[in-house]
Structure 1
């Protein structure tokens, strides 16, 4: 169970071994409708792509999304997960082996890895950790890596332009975390650890970034408070 922030923090947030061993629990208790978002992502992909599609999950962590796709689809896909945290991939490999899934896992910096000819790119709660000065160029790179009619699906924490409403959404989110068993101390500790590490955009800023990269079809397919899941389609 996630107890990472029950003690005073000594560093900024990192996806290290301490986080990796409790990460799945942390995700389910920290992200509203986490499992439902994965299920929606997988169903969307299964409806959109054909047998043999090439699908990559950037920042795959412990491979939850790829494993869900493996279990839910009756099609055979080329599944690849990339993450820069070896501790996460160690757990991912164990889970992939346990399920007998045909999923390739690669230890690499997602901002530097070469990507080509992908039918779907997934990036859940990952772009927010890329520095704003690099983020737009990275999304443009993803657009170029997609095949025509390819999908880019990603989930993000977002901020609201209205400062009062934004504060209210943050308070509602903290209420959600309390309902999951987190203490006010743990909530404050994680907020401090993520400061200047996780930098979210507004919904409109995310959409503008996608348009500037070349995407024409851009929709929000799920939203809860200050969390949103986007889908962008490359033109045929």
Structure 2
């Protein structure tokens, strides 16, 4: 189903409700530059760091697309767990997992409060940016504590530049991309207003510093296009 969520006047802040869940896969592919490439690189490094009988958590798993792609390529026994606090998203995730016969556990959970078991890999695609900055690093510390030694945390985020001119141009570049995907100027502005104070991005440097402060030994960018980046942090 095509994303037309912001083609009409919006009277509330952005939320992952049924209307968004119904078009979310299309929204991601048309709103996130090189989304498929980011997914592929996430899957590659997740599988590289996953041991026999290991465990993967996907935080903010939405419709479980990432875990389903990992499941298709599994060559070992592993436990795949997706967490999200949107029941609308999880309903679609369950339907997709059932349709593909995939043994994936998806749970309605608060990722800040969840009691994580030891894991090989954590994934977080465009989720940290929705966590309040005051508690964001605490979540990353919790992730680091739950990872096995040499475990990996792969996360994608919208990023900003602290250089005002460059940041403005990054946003302009991104809006040109969205127009090429068929979004109107009106839809772009509507979504920007709906996300105001809901999505709070960090810079590339701030994300790396946060990971290192949380206990990871190394963090770097795997893929970046303008103001979108995929990172890997190693314990």
**TM-score category, normalised to shorter length:** over 0.9
CA distance in 2, matches of 1:138, 1:48: 21
1:59 shift after superposition: 0.3
Aligned to 1:134: 135
1:38-187 matches, within 5 Å, as 38-187=39-188
Q: TM-score, normalised by structure 2?
A: 0.98
1:67 shift after superposition: 0.4
Of stretches 69-78 and 127-136 in structure 1, the one that deviates more from structure 2 is 69-78
Of stretches 187-196 and 45-54 in structure 1, the one that deviates more from structure 2 is 45-54
Query: Is the partner of 2:134 in helix, strand or coil?
Result: helix
Q: Deviations over 1:55-101 (max 9, x none)?
A: 01000000010001011232222100000000000000000001100
Aligned to 2:212: 211
Query: Is the partner of 1:14 in helix, strand or coil?
Result: coil
The answer to whether residue 223 in structure 2 is matched with residue 226 in structure 1 is: no
Q: Deviations over 1:130-164 (max 9, x none)?
A: 00001111111111111111111000000012111
Query: Is the partner of 1:22 in helix, strand or coil?
Result: helix
1:231 shift after superposition: 0.4
Alignment: residue pair count: 234
Aligned to 1:189: 190
Gaps of 5+ in 2: none
RMSD over aligned CA atoms reads 0.8
Q: Deviations over 1:41-62 (max 9, x none)?
A: 1111222222221001000000
Q: Deviations over 1:150-181 (max 9, x none)?
A: 11100000001211111111001000000000
The answer to whether residue 37 in structure 2 is matched with residue 36 in structure 1 is: yes
Gaps of 5+ in 1: none
